[in-house]
Every structure is written in structure tokens, then in C-alpha cells.
A and B are shown apart, each in its own frame.
Chain A
């Protein structure tokens, strides 16, 4: 992500998308007539998308000499977290074990 021009394109794009995602979340929460669970799922997903967007657009995780390492680290951390949390819930709430 080497930018030659002085104009901070990625910041502007990132800012623009962050605004859109935030307003979508507001709209879903206030105006859409769906159940509480669905609202939580939608705005939760939007939050994760926005966090990822900001990491790339504002925090420049892919740039610098450790760029690749950062991305691998984060992907691995997400993988481990999902395995531990979602895995444990799945294992402990299915079948006889939960009853």
C-alpha cells in the first residue's frame, strides 16, 4: 500500500465507509422493525467490518516492515479466539453433555 500522491486517499475512503457503516447501524437499530436478536447480529457484524476497515485504512497494518507479520498475527489471533470460544460453546452445548 505505497501511496505516491500526497492526497490521503485511503483516509478519505476509510472515513467515508466508516460513516456509511455507522449510519446503517443506526438505521437498523432505530428504524427497522425486526427482532432484538437480529438487530444485535446485524450491528455486531457491522462493527466487526468497521473495525477491520479502520485497521487497514487508518492504522496501516499492512504497511511497514512488519506489515505481513501483523496481518498473519491478527488472522491467527482471530482463528484461536474463534476456536476457543465458539468451539467450547459448541462442544459443551451439544448432545448429552449439556443436559
Chain B
């Protein structure tokens, strides 16, 4: 069927052979383990076919942890290669592949699933809903994302990784200059994962607009829900641009069209333009939910309502608006003319205004608050100064004239790591420590959490602070080595040492998950942090129908005020009615499999095989359109039984651990 089998398995390099062996062994271990413990049925019923937003969220988060590991190893390899001048640890080609996969994986397969996972777990609970608006679509979103992520991840051992940078600029990414199949992975895997993300965006807009508890007007929504709503709107606006750009790229690479080529009337800069039309809003897609997480954490642990709620809402809407009109600042050096560069300099600098408003709101929330230094709060506190460094260097880069000096240096690399790591990764960690008891019914160990925090934050600064100075001295990004005469060596070495500290911090986090899973106390209260929003009103871990009776919301921080009125745990059994819930479905998982197979054949340009596999996609769509399963009802008896278990165990809201 036109597959070049000799091209499929990449061999030779000991690193790659080692990875191939490790992957095979891991797969064997998983299969043997599942069979030995007789867990296949459990896996299928409880996870692979689930439409429960909480379980889907947990699967997203698990994928995020795995991908953080993969992207982190990529990062460490790069740091090892540049630790000393003229190192021969990685060759130029291997280095190109690694910085490409590092970028793609960290943004699209680490940051996105972590945040979408937290959105999935938390948002329906925060608005008092029983699930998202389209539960089966939600499962499909996850499985398409997972399918795309796995397809992308196998590239380095099957066929070769993409190697044109995470931005995949043409003409380099085109067939003329990258004839191998590596960049096909980029075009096709991201397309499949992007479909899932787009569906998530639609799902959350409808969920938040239509499924809020009675009384919760838009201006009484928790801040994380607000940021999720605005994020979803940006997703729906921006992701189709990427879909189209990737489709054109696929046509160029697979079918010989000339959208982005240098010859035959193509425009290589059109790719850069379309990529960043999506790519810049994408940055705000990952940063806005993170802002929401910090808002919740800071309000909870300062024991105060969020300062300047209205200005927060106006700021996120303003950021969403501006995020659509700043994309050219990624390629000022394309030299698009003074009017264009000036316009985009100004809009870019304007973004600092609503962001600054938010920073001050968080500071004023803490002012005169009774701050509790929990691990979650520590991440939020560390976020503020670190993110400000990222933001201020961003304003430096925003000036088009100055950018000609900074462009494509490590100064830029340091800048966006200072924005994305404090902005997204710190937020994800804060969110995980904060919402972990709600997801699993036990807390992550606070002491290990603090080791994780200090190692990670110190490691992060030691890794990336030197890169600002390296960049100012002229060290370019994406260069696999440098000469001893350049004088870069000491700072590169410091940066490499920092990356080891960073990695140890992440290892402590993984150990913390393991330790807490094994040994942490299981009888945590449903409200261990004495928090403010509705998700803390129901059991930990949350019962599958979320709320026995949907709460009525009277003001912002609804749960906090309910606790003050002493009405949280009073549940009249006469109020309980049967609950309608969606049924599980294996269809989303099936779709992920057929999309994955189709994508794999397309990557290898086996067009007939791909067309045959694509029939499987159509069959899935047909089955779905004849699906008349409208869900089922949970009986009042079952609800009463479930509610008695957790309400009796705890008793009162005074029972907190924090």
C-alpha cells in the first residue's frame, strides 16, 4: 500500500534504540499488569468509555503529567548538549528534532491538557451543574486530543521527528527542504488534537452560558469560570485558523500544492502570518485559565473576596480582544512596513495594561488578608514576581525597533519561559494542590509539596535567568552548539545546572503523587481549605452526579456565604428527586483509534490505506447519528444512600485541615 517499511523504524542512535526498548518494555508491562490484576474490564467501564467530566478531567491531567515528563526530557537533553561548548552529545539534526518536539509537546500536549483537565473537573462543579453540556462530545474531545498526542509522540522512534521548530516555518517545513515524513507528523497529529480542543471550546461556552445554577448571573460566577468562558471563546475564534493553516500545510506536503512554497506563487510568510494569528491567541488560551486558578487560590488563602471583581472581568475580556490583534509581533523582522510594525507594537504594549490591573488586584486581595502559606498559595505568591519579569521583558520585546536586536536570541526564549512557566506551570501546580482533595478524596502531602515548590522555583530561575544575559550577548536560539571563544560557556553551564534542579523538583512532585496515593489520610473534609466556591459544597471525591440538589446562588462566593448562614449541609430528603445522567459510550474511544490509524497512514503518505481507514471515521459518525440512548435516571434511594455516607462521616464545615 505504498508504505516504505524501511523508513518507519529509526535506528542507529543509542539514545533512540534505548527509547525504543523502553517503550516496548513499558507497553508489555502495562498489558501484563492489566491482565494479571484482571483490570481490563474496569479500565473499559470506568475510564475508556466514561463521559463523566471529572474522570475526563483526570485523564487530561494524567496525560499532562506524562507529556510534561516527555517534554522535560527533551529540555534536559538540550541543556546537556549546550552545557559545554562544542559538545557532541547530540548532533545538529537530533537537536533540531528535540527543540521542535519540546515546544509542541509543552504547549499543546502539556499546558493545554493540564488546563483543560482542571477546567473539566472544576467548572461544572463551580457553576452547580451535573456535567458539561455535551458529555459524549467531551469524551470525544479528550480522545481526539489523546490520539493526536500519541501520534505526535511516536514520531521520534517511528519515521523521524518533525525538525522545523514548533512554529514549523515555511519554506523549511515544506517538502523541498524537509523531504522526510517528520513534518507530516506535525501537520496531521496537531490537526487531530486541534479538533478535540475546538470541541472543548464549544462545549464549555454552552455549559457556562446554559447550565449555571439558579441565581448565578454572569457577574456572580467564580473567576475561574469566567476565565474558562473567555478562553473557550478565544479557542473557537482562533483554532479554526490553525485548522485551515495545517490543512494547507498538509496539501502542500502530501499533494504538491503551492500555498506556502517559494515557487509557483506560494507565500512562505503566509504560513507565519496564519500560524501566529492562531499562535498568539493560543498563548492567552493557556494563560487566562491560569489567571483564573490564581484568582481562586489567592482569594481562598487570603480569606478575602477577590479584589476588583468587575475590573478582573473587564481585564480578561480586554485581554481576549487584544490577543487577536497582536500576532505580528512574532515576526517584526519580516519587515512588513513601518505602519504595520508600529500598530502591532502599540497593541502589544497595550496588553500590559489589563494584565497589570490583574496583578494589582491580586496584590490588593492579599492586602490585609489572613494569608495561609499552603503549597497552593506559595505557587501563587511565586507567580507574581516571576511573571512580572516575564511581562516586563515582553514589553521590551514589544518595541519593534528594539526587537530587531532581541529577535531569535535566547533573550526571547528566556522571556517566554518566564511567562509560560510562572503563568501556566505554577498555576497548574497551584490548581493541582488546591483541587486534588476534590478530585481524589485525599490531599497531596504539604511537606513534599514545599520541597517541590522550592526546588522547582529555584531551578526555574537558575535555568532561565542566565538565558536573558546570553541572549543580550548574542547567543541565538535553536543553535545546537557554540564555540569556546564566544564566552557563553559559564552561563550555559549555570543554566544546565538549573535545569537539573528543576527536574529534581518535578521528580519530587511525581513522588508526592505516589506517596499521597499510598499513605495520605483518606477522610479529608469536603471543604478542607475553608474555600469560597460551590465545588467545595459537595463530597470529596465528588459523587458522580455532583450535587444531590442543585444549590441556589445568591451572591458571589456563594458557598462562603452559605457557610456563614449555616445552611450548607442541611439537605432535606424530601428535596431529593431522581437525577438524569448521560450513559457511557465506547464511541469516542473508537473514534480516537480510527483517527489515529488514518493519521498514521497519512503521515506515511499511504493514501489508499488512509482512505480505507477513514471509512472507519464515517462509520463512527453514522453510528452516532443513530444513537438514541438518552441516558438514565439515578433513583432517589441511591442518592439518599450516597449522600448519607459522606454527610454522616463529616458533620460540619469546621472540619478543615489547611
A→B interface (CB under 8 Å):
69, 76, 79-80, 83-84, 87-88, 90-92, 94-97
Contact = CB atoms under 8 A, between A and B. Distances in A.
Nearest to A94: B337
A83 B325 contact: yes
A91 B237 CA distance: 20
Interface stretch (B56-64, B122-130, B267-275): B267-275
A14 to B, nearest CB: 29
Q: Is the interface of B mostly helix, strand, loop or mixed?
A: helix
A88 B325 contact: no
Chain B contact-residue range equals 20 to 34
A84 B340 contact: no
Contact of B277 (A76, A88, A94): A88
Contact of A94 (B241, B325, B336): B336
Interface string B311-352: 000000000000011011000001111111000000000000
B66 interface: no
Contacts, number: 46
- Most chain B CB neighbours (cut-off 10 Å) among A90, A96, A97: A97
B640 to A, nearest CB: 35
Contacts of B337: 94-97
B274 A95 contact: no
Nearest to A89: B273
B209 interface: yes
B267 A92 contact: yes
B475 to A, nearest CB: 27
A80 B274 CA distance: 13
B209 A69 contact: yes
Interface string B269-313: 110011001000000000000000000000000000000000000
Interface of B: 209, 233, 237, 241, 267, 269-270, 273-274, 277, 324-325, 327-328, 334-340
Contact of A76 (B237, B336, B340): B237
A96 B335 CA distance: 6
B270 A88 contact: yes
Given A80-B324, A90-B340, A97-B336, 12 more contacts: A69-B209, A76-B237, A83-B325, A87-B327, A88-B274, A91-B273, A94-B336, A94-B337, A94-B339, A95-B340, A96-B334, A96-B337
Given A76-B237, A88-B270, A95 B338 contact: yes
Nearest to A99: B335
Contacts of A92: 267, 269-270, 273, 336
Contacts of B209: 69
Contacts of B273: 88, 91-92
B274 to A, nearest CB: 7
A91 B325 CA distance: 12
Contacts of A91: 273, 328, 336, 340
B277 A84 contact: yes
A80 B269 CA distance: 20
A95 B339 CA distance: 9
Given A76-B237, A92-B267, A92-B269, A97 B274 contact: no
Nearest to B233: A76
Contacts of A88: 270, 273-274, 277
A96 B337 CA distance: 7
Contacts of A84: 241, 277
A95 B335 contact: yes
Contact of A83 (B267, B324, B340): B324
Contacts of A97: 269, 334-337
A18 B209 CA distance: 35
Contacts of A83: 277, 324-325
B340 A94 contact: yes
A79 B328 CA distance: 17
B230 to A, nearest CB: 12
B401 to A, nearest CB: 14
Contacts of A94: 336-337, 339-340
B443 to A, nearest CB: 40
A76 B232 CA distance: 14
A59 B273 CA distance: 36
A94 B343 CA distance: 13
A84 to B, nearest CB: 6
15 contacts: A69-B209, A76-B233, A79-B324, A83-B324, A84-B277, A87-B327, A90-B340, A91-B336, A91-B340, A92-B267, A94-B340, A95-B335, A95-B340, A97-B269, A97-B335
- Most chain B CB neighbours (cut-off 10 Å) among A79, A84, A88: A84
A80 B233 CA distance: 11
A83 B334 CA distance: 19
A39 B515 CA distance: 74
Contacts of A96: 334-337
- Most chain A CB neighbours (cut-off 10 Å) among B209, B334, B335, B337: B337
Contacts of A90: 340
